């Protein structure tokens, strides 16, 4: 958009202006529309002679240029309202630093979890007793975290090790299913069964040829039949493990069953599909849609939810699916969005209790990528998401800055400690 430079004394409410350096002014954005006298006073206090404005985004033209230079008015002390803006920005920078630390901690936590799952799967049958004990410990830690803190954040991150997609998938399905299970008011024992089953739901794929599992295109009917055997193989393998609970076995056996009988392997329908399996089916399908073998075919999280509603009516439990959406939000973590001030960002995390106010990392050409600003929309009453954007449609510089997740992974974070 065309920008014009005007004298500082031509400023008025309604002009859309742009400043050069984020660190040298008290505003949260480099570009914004002047909405009140407080912002006008702050702009005039910066000592600038002129400023850029965008006619197309402004509500009014600038004031006529003055024939006389604007007098400098000496102040006995700084304007308290301008000082308040600077203090707010200082607090924002501190929150951004704390949030970035929290995100890094989350990613390390998830990475350790994936490493644990990988080790468990590799030793599952070599040391079954020890492996089952470790699985219980992993699930207990996750369940205890969920039950101890109701103000959780569902946080998205980038899965960097594409060759370990099976372990990421197991973790994703477990996290998402437990989140939904908690919302569905499952008791502690049911959550443990659900988590254990989800962590092991795809163990039967070890017996499926890799060329079938990794085939990017559509499977032939013979390949599809072979692929579907992974559920029966998984149940057979799980029955050899010591003391797996019945609920976990149900998840392994039925996570591909659909309520209309169109699923596999048993083509079960209605009440024959248990509640734990219904929850696992939703989490499993969502992650499969977001993380397809051919990454170009992967859906955004928002697209995946819309697809599930449109194409899986009568197949998935409707009440549980609605509950899942309420946990993930209208704009789930991983969604690229545009705000009402035209800023573009990526949803980093959501609180199920505040779905319309996610945490967003903002694209700003004047802020280095490693210092990118986080906004918690719950704390920004003037900001709101207006639409979701497809990462593929973003300009290259925006895409590179936001780094939309090609493989989406989720972790539940303690909301009380997050900023």
Top-tier CATH class for 88-414 = mainly alpha
pTM reported for the whole predicted model = 0.78
The pLDDT of 152-180, averaged and rounded, is: 75
Say how far apart CA 154 and CA 313 lie, in whole Å: 25
Residue 162 or 121, more confident: 121
Q: How confident is the model at residue 75 (pLDDT cuts 50, 70, 90)?
A: very low
| Of 73-82, 263-272, 367-376, highest mean pLDDT | 263-272
Q: How confident is the model at residue 156 (pLDDT cuts 50, 70, 90)?
A: low
Task: Find out whether 19 and 30 touch, Cβ atoms under 8 Å.
Answer: yes
pLDDT over 70 percentage in the chain:
88
φ/ψ bin of 403: left (φ > 0), alpha (ψ from -120 to 50), beta (otherwise): left
* Residue ranges per structural domain of the chain: 88-414
- Whether omega for the bond prior to residue 384 falls within 30 degrees of 0, making it cis, is no
**Number of Cβ atoms within 10 Å of the Cβ of 395:** 10
Render pLDDT for 340-350 as a digit per residue (tens, 0 to 9): 888 899 888 88
Say how far apart CA 82 and CA 96 lie, in whole Å: 21
Residue 68 has pLDDT above 70, yes or no: no
Say how far apart CA 280 and CA 257 lie, in whole Å: 10
Residue 417 has pLDDT above 60, yes or no: no
């Amino acid at each position: 958009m065309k920008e014009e430079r005007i004298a500082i004394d031509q400023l008025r409410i309604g002009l859309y202006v742009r400043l050069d350096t984020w660190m040298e002014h008290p505003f949260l954005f480099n570009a914004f529309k002047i909405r009140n006298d407080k912002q006008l006073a702050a702009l005039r206090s910066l000592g600038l002679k002129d400023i850029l404005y965008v006619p197309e985004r402004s509500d009014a033209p600038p004031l006529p240029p003055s024939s006389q230079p604007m007098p400098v008015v000496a102040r006995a002390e700084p304007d308290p309202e301008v000082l308040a803006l600077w203090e707010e920005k200082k607090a924002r920078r501190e929150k951004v630093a704390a949030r970035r630390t929290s995100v890094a901690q989350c990613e390390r936590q998830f990475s350790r979890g994936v490493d644990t799952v990988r080790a468990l799967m590799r030793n599952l049958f070599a040391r079954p007793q020890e492996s089952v004990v470790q699985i219980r410990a992993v699930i207990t830690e996750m369940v205890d975290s969920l039950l101890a803190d109701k103000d959780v954040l569902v946080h998205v991150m980038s899965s960097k090790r594409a060759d370990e997609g099976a372990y990421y998938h197991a973790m994703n399905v477990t996290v998402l299913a437990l989140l939904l299970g908690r919302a569905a008011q499952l008791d502690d024992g049911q959550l443990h069964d659900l988590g254990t089953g989800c962590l092991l739901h795809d163990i039967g794929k070890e017996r499926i040829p890799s060329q079938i599992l990794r085939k990017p295109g559509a499977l032939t009917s013979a390949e599809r039949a072979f692929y579907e055997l992974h559920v029966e193989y998984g149940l057979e393998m799980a029955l050899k493990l010591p003391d797996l609970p019945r609920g976990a076995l149900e998840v392994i056996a039925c996570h591909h069953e659909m309520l209309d009988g169109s699923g596999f392997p048993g083509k079960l329908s209605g009440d024959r599909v248990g509640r734990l399996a219904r929850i696992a089916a939703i989490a499993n399908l969502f992650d499969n849609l977001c993380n397809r073998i051919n990454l170009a075919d992967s859906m955004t999280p928002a697209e995946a939810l819309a697809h599930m509603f449109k194409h899986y009516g009568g197949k998935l439990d409707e009440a549980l699916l609605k509950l899942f959406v309420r946990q993930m939000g209208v704009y789930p973590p991983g969604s690229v969005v545009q705000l009402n001030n035209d800023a573009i960002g990526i949803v980093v995390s959501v609180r199920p209790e505040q779905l319309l106010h996610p945490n967003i990392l903002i694209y700003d050409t004047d802020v280095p990528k490693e210092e990118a600003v986080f906004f918690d929309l719950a704390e920004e009453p003037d900001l709101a998401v207006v639409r979701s954007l497809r990462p593929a449609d973003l300009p290259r510089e925006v895409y590179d800055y936001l780094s939309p997740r090609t493989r989406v992974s989720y972790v539940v974070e303690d909301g009380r400690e997050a900023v």
